[in-house]
């Protein structure tokens, strides 16, 4: 827990509103493996982390008047619950307004509230600051207004908030991890059934290190939706021969090969990546259970190549960092983490070699791109909660 941020949101709340707030936290997440499989109803292996967003919240005393204060953006936004509508794209307010709208659609009554928030999830890092904002808002309002939603209900509403107000047709993984995560455990999630299982993360002599490229290409949101459309196009072709296939998770590589001639070559590569990535998630979970960290690391390397050449969501900076890591003996495997076109690499690295690795990668990255790389150590923590 970041006590400095907790104190900052509490003090800012008292300054703005003259009340004592209730404090909440919702974490960011990492994903060990399984990128772009969630909106294809496949499997993912995320975990919630210590970096998150902290909220100070209380009823405003008004039936419909609300105020939001973002310390990170240094902005205040006042609105009325009876006049909810999305703002311009890329507005931080949409993630909160969308959650309120979904709660109202579910037939529950939210009254006016005040909220101050701030976080230490690096934006654009692929650690899902947006899901943390949505889930934290939903959890806080559920608590202070005694709305009675179960956690899985709040996951679904947070996802719909991103669809309907932020305009990103995301899968459900980010919100599920932020809301449902547990300390020291990863979460194998079936994004079709929402069945899930926790696995202890026992890395023995290794640790997880994120390296933030500090690159956030504008392509990310638009290309994300393009990839989703390409996958849906592939499913439509598969259904001409196999009508029972509803999502790519239902298809095998053999079935894909049978219809390859009827499919655009780019769409074929997208589908191939997703089908193989689903298999990698299951194999990675088995490797963790068996203590086979070398096998797990090799799967990270293969996943990186798939994202680079088949799904084409990496970028030169990310490829450079992953190649650098995957050429070393102290790293079992590395890959891009997140939606793509920037963000972080996830590195499975030998304990004790992190400092030297960071120093050497930082120097090489600076020379190549004239940019700083930022290392991020992660610990696995609990999901959305009241402090």
Residue positions annotated with a catalytic role:
174
SS3 278: helix
Separation CA 239–CA 207 (nearest Å): 43
User: 189 — phi, psi (to 5°)?
Assistant: -115, 130
Q: How far apart are CA 266 and CA 272, in angstroms?
A: 10
DSSP label at residue 108: P
DSSP state of 62: S
Contact 26, 133 (CB under 8 A): yes
* Chain position carrying tokens 């009827």: 262
User: What spatial distance separates the first Cα and last Cα of the chain, rounded to whole Å?
Assistant: 10
Q: Which residue has the tokens 């090969």?
A: 257
Distance CA 118, CA 24 (A): 11
What is the rounded distance in angstroms from the CA atom of residue 40 to the CA atom of residue 256? 15
Going by the DSSP 8-state scheme, the letter that residue 189 receives in this structure is E
Determine the Cα–Cα distance for residues 333 and 190; give it in Å rounded to an integer: 24
Backbone φ and ψ of 204, nearest 5°: 55, -110
Distance CA 117, CA 123 (A): 14
CB hemisphere CA count around 239 (13 angstroms)? 13
Do the Cβ atoms of 290 and 324 come closer than 8 Å? no
Contact indicator for 311, 345 with CB cutoff of 8 Å: no
Tell me the C-alpha distance between 79 and 374, whole Å.
37
Q: Name 210's Cβ contacts closer than 8 Å, sequence gap at least 6.
A: 30, 125, 127, 337, 344, 345, 346, 347, 375, 376, 377, 378
Helix (DSSP H) and strand (DSSP E) numbers for the chain: 11, 13
CB 318 within 8 A of CB 345: yes
């Amino acid at each position: 827990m970041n006590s400095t941020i907790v104190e900052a949101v509490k003090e800012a709340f008292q300054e703005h509103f003259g009340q004592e707030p209730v404090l909440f936290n919702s974490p960011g997440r990492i994903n060990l493996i399984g990128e772009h499989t969630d909106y294809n109803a496949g499997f993912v292996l995320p975990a919630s982390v210590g970096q998150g967003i902290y909220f100070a919240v209380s009823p405003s005393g008004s039936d419909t008047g609300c105020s939001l204060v973002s310390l990170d953006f240094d902005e205040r936004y006042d609105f009325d619950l009876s006049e909810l509508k999305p703002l311009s794209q890329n507005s931080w307010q949409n993630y909160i307004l969308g959650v309120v709208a979904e709660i109202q659609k579910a037939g529950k009554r939210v009254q006016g509230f005040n909220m101050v928030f701030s976080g230490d999830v690096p934006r654009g890092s692929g650690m899902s600051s947006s899901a943390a904002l949505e889930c934290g808002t939903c959890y806080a309002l559920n608590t202070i207004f005694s709305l009675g939603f179960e956690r899985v209900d709040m996951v679904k509403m947070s996802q719909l908030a991103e669809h309907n107000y932020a305009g990103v047709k995301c899968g459900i993984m980010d919100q599920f991890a932020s809301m449902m995560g547990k300390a020291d455990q990863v979460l194998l999630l079936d994004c079709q059934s929402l069945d899930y299982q926790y696995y202890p993360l026992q890395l023995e002599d290794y640790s997880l290190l994120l390296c933030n490229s500090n690159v956030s290409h504008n392509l990310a949101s638009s290309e994300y939706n393009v990839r989703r459309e390409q996958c849906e196009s592939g499913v439509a072709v598969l259904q001409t021969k196999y009508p029972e296939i509803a999502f790519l998770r239902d298809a095998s590589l053999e079935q894909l090969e049978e219809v390859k001639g009827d499919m655009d070559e780019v769409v074929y590569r997208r589908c191939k990546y997703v089908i193989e990535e689903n298999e990698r998630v299951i194999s990675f979970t088995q490797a963790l259970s068996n203590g086979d960290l070398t096998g797990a690391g090799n799967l990270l390397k293969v996943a990186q190549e798939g994202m680079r050449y088949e799904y084409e969501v990496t970028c030169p900076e990310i490829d450079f960092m992953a190649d650098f890591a995957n050429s070393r003996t102290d790293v079992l495997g590395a890959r891009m983490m997140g939606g793509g076109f920037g963000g972080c690499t996830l590195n499975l690295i030998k304990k004790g070699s992190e400092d030297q690795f960071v120093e050497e990668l930082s120097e090489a990255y600076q020379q190549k791109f004239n940019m700083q790389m930022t290392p991020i150590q992660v610990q696995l923590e609990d999901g959305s909660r009241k402090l």
